[in-house]
Amino acid sequence: MHSHDLSKHSTAAVLSKVSITPVLIIAVLFGIAHVLTNGQYGFHRDELQFLSDAQHLDWGFVPYPPLTSALEHLAFKMFGLSLVGLRLFSVLAQTVVILISGLMARDLGGGRLAQVFTAIAVGLSPAPMGNATMFQYSSFDMLWWVLIAWSVIRLLRDDDPRWWVAIGLFAGLGLQTKYSIAFELVGVLVGVLLTDARRYLMSRWFWAGGAVALLVFAPNFVWLVRHDFISYRFLQSIHTRDVNEGRADGFLRDQFLINANLFAAPVWIAGLVGYFRARRYRMLAWMYVVPLLLFMLLRGRFYYVSAAYPMLLAMGSVIGEQWLRTLRPAWRVGTAALLFSGVAAIGIYAALIIMPIASNGPLRDFALKRNNDLREKIGWNELVTRVAAIRDALPAEQRADLGIVVGNYGEQGAIELLGKTYGLPPPITAINSGWLRGYPQTPPHTVIVLGSSRERADELFTDCRLAGHSGNAWGVVNEESRDHPDIFVCGPARKPWSELWSYGPEFG
């Protein structure tokens, strides 16, 4: 394919008449499928952290910027503790990701086939699919990445520098969602410097876009300054943990297996080559290669670049469609059918593992065996019920002066949100943003301790006794039931709470 194939302005006029209805229908159907299945199981450990932070709105939190929890605050006001309702914004984000992916194919010169294939391949890729099954910053991080990529395509296609303002807006929203989007923005800048897009450095729109990004990010930046860049310390700590536990392993393998539909690998690889060969759009190649290499060198997690694949699939689909036109009709139909059915087969297999489709029977067992995230959605209601029962069995004077100390953010969110039904007191924890919220002004004389070993409980509190165990009716082994199943009742803390707090936050 020659570089000028994708650079004809005449294509824009033709393509603007191509209906986006098929791509819109595909995106909406994926959204409906997620809404229909998202009510199964319970909240994920990570969701409980976002929900807890959503009860304490601020311009920043220890582990992440504020946008995800702000959206959950809004969803909570609208739907209460509804799994489907609270996950709705994530579903909407992925629906838009699928729609914009199809639009990228259209704007790159793709016809109906390229647009439909892009939308289906993105919708049936494991990473976007997983993003729609729970609310987490990855869901919205992918949305901003994809909107930046689409804006860059429109910028370059129409040579309209006003698109820099849109890029700046989405960059600012991205920084308010997940700090790792900075790596994509480095890719954008490298792409500008190494390609013909250098001409935009002279445009006031380029600098206006930068100003918009900084303006949107500014409130969180001020929060970071006021809190001694605590989030940077958190990210360092978690990165060290991930590397030590092998969570950064398999980085390249999972680009193929999880970040994009495996059967579509030849398509996105063709897309990357196509961006490098198309002089007008070469900037987008650097927007993929730079973050990929940086994360590989710095031992990041594989999914940190998952949001780059829709733009690659879009270009690859356009190239594939042009190639199919050179084949004889029978070969054309057969090759297209093979690609669609292969992507569908991989996508259905991924959906059976990733989406919470069944809550009993062999399909449930198949998914639980292979998907750690599903296992982490089980047992929270039972844990809270058990804590409430332990509380109710205490003498009246101990119940009147009771604290609940938790060892991880899943327990924190569960006690804070689900515990309201039982009238449980707010959780006390030094984990992440819980540390910023402090400890009770009047220290409790009796505490129920979750998520701790016996040794740790005895180290912190007096007169500890084993009062129960956390588990779940399905007998599923997850972090809660395996790593810290014991629940203790203890007396007062051995040291003043102010001294315990002076050690600083625990990161988890």
Identify whether residues 388 and 311 lie together within a single domain. no
What is the total count of domains within the chain?
2
Identify whether residues 329 and 390 lie together within a single domain. no
Quick one: pLDDT at residue 7?
43
Identify whether residues 303 and 390 lie together within a single domain. no
Say how far apart CA 214 and CA 411 lie, in whole Å.
35
Say how far apart CA 97 and CA 401 lie, in whole Å.
50
What are the residue ranges of helices labelled H in 227-301?
Answer: 230-244, 251-254, 265-277, 282-297
Task: Indicate the residue type of 186.
Answer: V
Identify whether residues 76 and 40 lie together within a single domain. yes
Quick one: pLDDT at residue 13?
46
Please report the DSSP string for 154-190 in residue order. HHHHHT-TTHHHHHHHHHHHHHTT-TTHHHHHHHHHH
User: 354, 370, 394: which is the final residue of a domain?
Assistant: 354
Quick one: pLDDT at residue 6?
47
Residues 6+ apart with CB under 8 A from 108: 6, 114, 153, 157, 281, 314, 315, 318
Structure-token pair, residue 338? 């093979």
Contact 156, 283 (CB under 8 A): yes
Identify whether residues 391 and 313 lie together within a single domain. no
Quick one: pLDDT at residue 17?
58
> 221 lies in a domain?
yes
Identify whether residues 347 and 389 lie together within a single domain. no
Say how far apart CA 24 and CA 406 lie, in whole Å.
45
Contact 166, 207 (CB under 8 A): no
Three-point CA angle 298, 304, 310, nearest 5°: 135
> 365 lies in a domain?
no
Determine the structural domain holding residue 237 and report its residue range: 3-354
Residues 6+ apart with CB under 8 A from 378: 41, 42, 472, 474, 476, 478
Identify whether residues 182 and 282 lie together within a single domain. yes
Question: In a structure prediction context, what are the per-residue pLDDT tens digits for the chain, which is 508 residues long?
Answer: 444 444 444 454 455 557 899 999 999 999 999 999 999 899 999 999 999 999 999 999 999 999 999 999 999 999 999 999 999 999 999 999 999 999 999 999 999 999 999 999 999 999 999 999 999 999 999 999 999 999 999 999 999 999 999 999 999 999 999 999 999 999 999 999 999 999 999 999 999 999 999 999 999 999 999 999 999 999 999 999 999 999 999 999 999 999 999 999 999 999 999 999 999 999 999 999 999 999 999 999 999 999 999 999 999 999 999 999 999 999 999 999 999 999 999 999 999 999 999 989 999 999 999 999 999 999 999 999 999 999 999 999 999 999 999 999 999 999 999 999 999 999 999 999 999 999 999 999 999 999 999 999 999 999 999 999 998 989 999 999 999 999 999 999 999 999 999 998 999 9
> 191 lies in a domain?
yes
> 367 lies in a domain?
no
Say how far apart CA 47 and CA 43 lie, in whole Å.
6
Say how far apart CA 403 and CA 395 lie, in whole Å.
14
Identify whether residues 12 and 115 lie together within a single domain. yes
> 372 lies in a domain?
no
> 69 lies in a domain?
yes
Quick one: pLDDT at residue 19?
87
**Three-state secondary structure call for residue 387:** helix
User: 354, 389, 409: which is the final residue of a domain?
Assistant: 354
Q: Give, for 469, the enclosing helix (H) or strand (E).
A: strand 465-469
Identify whether residues 430 and 312 lie together within a single domain. no
Identify whether residues 422 and 318 lie together within a single domain. no
Identify whether residues 315 and 455 lie together within a single domain. no
> 234 lies in a domain?
yes
Say how far apart CA 229 and CA 220 lie, in whole Å.
10
User: 336, 354, 372: which is the final residue of a domain?
Assistant: 354
Identify whether residues 122 and 270 lie together within a single domain. yes
